[in-house]
């Protein structure tokens, strides 16, 4: 039986290791019939990403270097993925960064350059990638873009600091891109995931407390997994979500709905 994204061609940006949400999404896209291209940021993670690419079944899987602050690499990655896959129908944006010294402590103490860097990498890079995939998606008759957010975009989460502001900007960018890209049948949505124990999450001060708090206060009284986020992501990339755009879909066991 065909998968719900059978035949779609997806560029997944942000896979770093086997525990990342980006990898869970890439794996589920592959399982549901999509062809996937992956990117890596720097030599430090290249080996891991290439090894993971070898685990996908709908190969060969293009693996391309991409630092989202490098315009030339961004151009090359998007065009290279489109050339290797024969077009692009899906973009998964799973990129975020905040300096360690700008997480924890007081938001008042976040540095100017730290804020600008976090906003550029975590939010503005979505717009820059969307610009580059748009012609390929128009050629395909439409497409779907998804990105990863967190409830700190809506509410203050002490210690998340500069990343919370960046996620707020990211969700706003999703809505503006949805309007601009809608006439070309390109949908743009965000997944607001609950806390998942990824390697990147270890750098967030008090992350363990965030997880326990979410479990205690979520209506489902449990945490979530990267695979659950991936399932929702594949839905948004599929034609089942053909009328869904400009949306932030919470995958957090209902935690966002609570006021306690």
User: Among this protein's residues, is 160 annotated catalytic?
Assistant: yes
Contacts (Cβ under 8 Å, ≥6 apart) of 52: 15, 17, 18, 23, 26, 38
Sheet with strand 143-149: strands edge to edge: 63-65, 35-40, 9-13, 90-93, 143-149, 186-193, 248-251
Structure tokens that stand for 39 in this block: 């990117």
Which of 19, 76, 64 is CA-nearest to residue 40?
64
Selecting among 97, 150, 207, 255, the annotated active-site residue is: 150
Place of tokens 């991936």: 230
Residue 45 burial by Cβ neighbours in a 10 Å radius (0-12, 13-18, 19+): middle
Active site members = 150, 160
């Amino acid at each position: 039986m065909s998968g719900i994204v059978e035949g779609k061609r997806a560029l997944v940006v942000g896979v770093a290791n086997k525990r990342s949400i980006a990898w869970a999404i890439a794996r589920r896209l592959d399982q549901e019939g999509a062809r996937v291209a992956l990117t890596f940021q720097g030599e430090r993670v290249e080996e891991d990403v290439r090894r993971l690419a070898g685990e996908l079944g709908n190969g060969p899987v293009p693996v391309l270097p991409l630092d989202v602050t490098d315009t030339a690499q961004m151009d090359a990655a998007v065009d290279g993925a489109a050339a290797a896959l024969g077009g692009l129908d899906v973009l998964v944006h799973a990129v975020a960064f905040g300096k360690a010294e700008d997480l924890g402590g007081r938001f008042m103490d976040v540095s100017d350059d730290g804020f600008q860097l976090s906003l550029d990498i975590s939010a503005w890079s979505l717009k820059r990638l969307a610009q580059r995939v748009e012609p390929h998606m128009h050629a395909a008759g439409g497409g779907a873009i998804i990105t990863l957010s967190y409830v700190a975009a809506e509410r203050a989460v002490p210690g998340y600091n500069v990343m919370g502001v960046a996620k707020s900007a990211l969700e706003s960018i999703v809505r503006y891109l949805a309007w601009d890209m809608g006439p070309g049948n390109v949908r743009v949505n965000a997944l607001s995931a609950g806390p998942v124990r990824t390697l990147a999450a270890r750098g967030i001060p008090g992350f363990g407390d965030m997880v326990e708090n979410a479990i205690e206060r979520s209506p489902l009284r449990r945490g979530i997994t990267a695979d659950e986020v991936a399932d929702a992501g594949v839905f948004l990339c599929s034609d089942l979500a053909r009328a869904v755009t400009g949306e932030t879909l919470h995958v957090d066991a209902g935690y966002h709905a609570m006021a306690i």
